[in-house]
Amino acid sequence: MAAVKHGLGRGLGALIRDTPVEAAPVTAPAGSGGPLMVDVARITPSPFQQRRVFSKEQLDELVASVREHGILEPPLVRKVEEGYELIAGERRWRAAREAGLKQIPVILRVASDREAMEIGLVENLQRTDLNVIEEAEGYHALADQFSLTQDEIAKKVSKGRASVANALRLLSLPKEVKKFMAEGLVSAGHAKVLLGLATELEQCRMAERVIKDGLSVRDLERMIQHSRKVTRKKTPGKEDIPSSHLVYLTDKLHQHFGTSVHVQPCRTTANGRKVKGSVAIDFYTNDDLDRILDLLGLTERG
């Protein structure tokens, strides 16, 4: 995954300052001048939280820190009917629960749904990276629920409009591909290449190839370029192998040879003429070629 982002311009502090909030009608203990102490059990997660994956390793480290030093930076919350709702700081709240703390310090703010979502999104972008799909879903939520334009979203999170637009494009990928991305199996660079494919079937197949064969972005680009060259040579007509069966055959060949196999089915043109098909097997070293030849029964044996 990408490194943690820093320096998002206006950032969380600026966004909070720009938000027209006022102190809630609950105050910290007299004379303390500090944050409000709240029962951990009375705090609930934000319904606008875009982060879906919390690293167990990072959370365990934070739990150990909380046990040793307590909560050094209070989460941001707003008052709701049943208690308090997080605006920012869910990892710290989770760590406090696991560490067995009964109360934690919080900063209380009055914030609308839109303000709470904006602040939470920026906080996640600054502190611990959202995966690329979570980030895109956060932008989509701002656009969908609050009718913000891409320019407005970009200003809210201090990013370029192109970055927001590119992130949103990722949401048009098939569910399976987005799952691969959320799990870190397919990168944003791979995804941008996959967006250039015409069908969801092609996008899923190529995403699976990326994972199975460990393809780099450049490898994926080359594979797609090769596929398009073959496609341009086709004459009008009908492929003799149904696409669903072609996917099955390709996967079986891939499993058998342990490398990418490209099957171009034969075709019947509009005038009834047959156009030949082809099978291309990738190899990367001479040893790899020898292994494939052996599987084909073509290796000389003593």
* CATH number of the domain where residue 77 is located: 3.90.1530.30
- Give yes or no: residues 195 and 249 share one domain: no
Is 164 within the bounds of a domain?
A: no
Identify the band that residue 13 occupies on the pLDDT scale cut at 50, 70 and 90: very low
Higher pLDDT, 240 or 160: 160
- Give yes or no: residues 262 and 284 share one domain: yes
Beta bridge partner(s), residue 36: 106
- Give yes or no: residues 218 and 239 share one domain: no
User: How many structural domains does the chain have?
Assistant: 3
Output phi, psi for 271, to 5 deg.
Answer: -95, 10
Is 140 within the bounds of a domain?
A: no
Exposure string of 69-99, with b = 16+ CB inside 10 Å and e = fewer, is eebeebbbbbeeeeebbbbbbbbbbbbbeeb
CB within 8 Å of 266: residues ≥ 6 apart? 239, 240, 241, 274, 275, 276, 277
- Give yes or no: residues 219 and 253 share one domain: no
CA 230 to chain centre: 32
| Confidence (pLDDT) at 2 | 39
Output phi, psi for 150, to 5 deg.
Answer: -65, -35
Answer whether residue 236 shows pLDDT above 60. Answer: no
* Listed residues 233, 257, 272: the one ending a domain: 233
| Confidence (pLDDT) at 131 | 80
- 3-state percent breakdown (helix, strand, coil) of the chain, nearest 5: 50, 15, 35
| Confidence (pLDDT) at 290 | 82
* Listed residues 216, 233, 250: the one ending a domain: 233
Is 242 within the bounds of a domain?
A: yes
Answer whether residue 244 shows pLDDT above 80. Answer: no
Identify the band that residue 237 occupies on the pLDDT scale cut at 50, 70 and 90: low
Q: What's the mean pLDDT in 58-73?
A: 85
Is 152 within the bounds of a domain?
A: no
| Confidence (pLDDT) at 55 | 67
Longest dimension (CA), the chain: 92
Is 299 within the bounds of a domain?
A: yes
Is 4 within the bounds of a domain?
A: no
- Give yes or no: residues 91 and 187 share one domain: no
Answer whether residue 35 shows pLDDT above 80. Answer: yes
**Residue 113 and residue 123: Cα distance in Å, rounded?**
15
| Confidence (pLDDT) at 127 | 59
- Give yes or no: residues 63 and 78 share one domain: yes
Compute how many other C-beta atoms are within 10 angstroms of the C-beta atom of residue 276: 8
| Confidence (pLDDT) at 225 | 82
* Listed residues 210, 233, 256: the one ending a domain: 233
Is 144 within the bounds of a domain?
A: no
CB within 8 Å of 250: residues ≥ 6 apart? 205, 261, 262, 263
pLDDT in tens, 105-116: 999 988 888 888
Is 151 within the bounds of a domain?
A: no
**What are the angstrom distances between the C-alpha of 91 and each of 46, 74, 116, 149, 199?**
12, 11, 16, 29, 38
Q: What's the mean pLDDT in 170-187?
A: 90
**Residue 4 and residue 187: Cα distance in Å, rounded?**
16
DSSP class of 2: P
Domain with 263 in it? 235-302
**Residue numbers annotated as active site:** 90
- Give yes or no: residues 64 and 118 share one domain: yes
Answer whether residue 207 shows pLDDT above 90. Answer: yes
**Residue 44 and residue 59: Cα distance in Å, rounded?**
18
- Give yes or no: residues 281 and 300 share one domain: yes
